[in-house]
Homo-oligomer: A and B are copies of this chain.
Amino acid sequence: MEELTSNQLNKIPISASPFPRIVILGGGFAGINLIKRLNKQRYQIVLFDRNNYHTFQPLLYQVATAGLEPDSIADPLRKQLEPVKNFYFRMAEVFSVDPERKTISTEIGELDYDYLVVATGTKTNYFGNDSIMQNAFPLKQIPQALDLRSHLLQNFEAATISRDEQEIDSRMTIVVVGGGPTGVEVSGAIGELKKNVLPNDYPELDFKRMRIILLEGLGRLLNGMSDKSGEKSLEYLKKFEVDVRLNTMVKSYDGLKVTLDNGDIINTHTLIWAAGVQGNYPDGFPEDSINHGRLLVDEFNQVKGAKDVYAIGDISLMLSDEYPKGHPQVAQVAIQQGRHLAKNLKYALKDKPMEPFEYHDKGSMATIGRNKAVVDIGKLKFGGFAAWIIWMFIHLVSLVGFRNKIIVLSNWIWNYFTYDKGTRLIIRRFVMKNKIME
């Protein structure tokens, strides 16, 4: 083997290929749909993700509330993309992009690209509030959902041995911030735990003391959906005794005390932060590529000011007359942009002109505990049991991986008929230690 220079050594090893290399950052909906449609094309494909699995984010809240095991809403990326030819996966965090040199820099070294596709999605937005960032529970990743699940259960364990009445109240109070789908769905799921599961587990505790408080800065819930769905979700949450406070913002949270903008104080050991997201792009983009924390793209998903760089899914911002603030940051846009870009990259191989992206809105939905959901499909807006059945069906078929569909369906049938949630394991207590000891 020839001696490599230090510059060459810092390059991530990938086999040489006569085809142009497409580097894709992020194995979410946008990334995997792009890659699947690029199979057998004359490209070398390299995917980077910091995890070795795809996360089905719409069901993360069910992992956090003991309804599903984490393995059933995640799918290993290598397995998922096994059929794709000329494909390489690298598990690594990507630090920065150099669009001039056409290189990315990662925790495992550098890599050159011919085309770069940024599909890194979003991360939790704490709006610069350090006290919230340090003490609140976000809900964007599987380890975070597991952490929250353990934390919720540990609070009830601790409440059974406390003699301090204020502490017991605080441990039995859960504050959720953000009235979007995540906030509404997690509040409903905790409401269901309160009604059907926790009182059986902790007969020593008085569950009249348990409080679930949902805070929303705007005057309504589910702002991305119809007025009717917003109102219905409020009505359903009330049935689960969720205390919904609209037009209310959080000023700070020290881990025990939430201070609201109206001066009110809520004592709680648990603040779930679902109030906003921000783009999760690597460093190195020119200033005019960034707009509202997302990567500004044209109608072909090309990033402004960065040649041969594309952005798809939640991270991209495509402005149009129909969507003057960009598309909603939902799975459907990511899936459609991934597939559309695959088509355009195939055109590029044949020197055909690219086609502009057009979003086909298939509707939106949210579920609020057992038997209840709201659905907007075009002009059709409805709630209740039928909406809940549709919600379950759509989520089941959208799950990545056939094994996951079976396991999630088994769990849902089990949960439905037993009124139980099966996966109430506390595994966090060992997590803090460097080595897991007996």
Contact = CB atoms under 8 A, between A and B. Distances in A.
Contact of A79 (B90, B146, B424): B424
A397 interface: no
Interface stretch (A65-73, A222-230, A306-314): A65-73
Contacts of A7: none
Contacts of A127: none
Contacts of A202: 78
A96 interface: no
A88 interface: yes
Given A13-B161, A411-B407, A82 B52 contact: no
B161 A280 contact: no
B438 A140 contact: yes
A431 B51 CA distance: 13
A423 B140 CA distance: 20
B88 A204 contact: yes
A259 to B, nearest CB: 21
Nearest to A420: B79
User: Which of the listed residues A9, A124, A143, A411 has the most CB atoms from chain B within 10 Å of its own CB?
Assistant: A143
B424 A76 contact: yes
Nearest to A402: B414
Contacts of A53: 424-426
A153 B162 CA distance: 42
Contacts of A265: none
Contacts of A427: 70, 142-143, 146
A389 interface: no
A180 interface: no
Contacts of A326: none
A383 interface: no
A200 B90 CA distance: 15
A12 interface: yes
Nearest to A162: B13
Interface in A3-58: 4, 9, 12-13, 15, 50-53
A394 B420 CA distance: 26
Contacts of A88: 204
Contacts of A204: 15, 88
Nearest to A15: B204
Contacts of A147: 436
**Size bin of chain A's contact surface:** 35 or more
A299 interface: no
Given A52-B424, A407-B410, A432 B434 contact: yes
A166 interface: no
Contacts of A52: 153, 157, 424-426
A438 B138 contact: yes
Given A15-B204, A201-B78, A425 B161 contact: no
Interface in A75-133: 76, 78-79, 82, 88, 90-91, 108-109, 123-124
A5 to B, nearest CB: 13
A209 B162 CA distance: 56
A431 B431 CA distance: 6
Contact of A82 (B124, B200, B414): B200
Interface string A396-438: 0000011110110011001000101011111101111011101
27 contacts: A4-B163, A13-B161, A13-B163, A51-B425, A53-B425, A69-B71, A71-B422, A76-B422, A76-B424, A76-B425, A78-B201, A79-B200, A79-B420, A79-B424, A82-B200, A88-B204, A123-B438, A124-B438, A138-B438, A141-B436, A141-B438, A143-B430, A146-B427, A402-B414, A403-B420, A406-B410, A410-B410
Closest 6 CB pairs of A and B: A69-B71, A403-B422, A71-B423, A76-B424, A78-B201, A123-B438
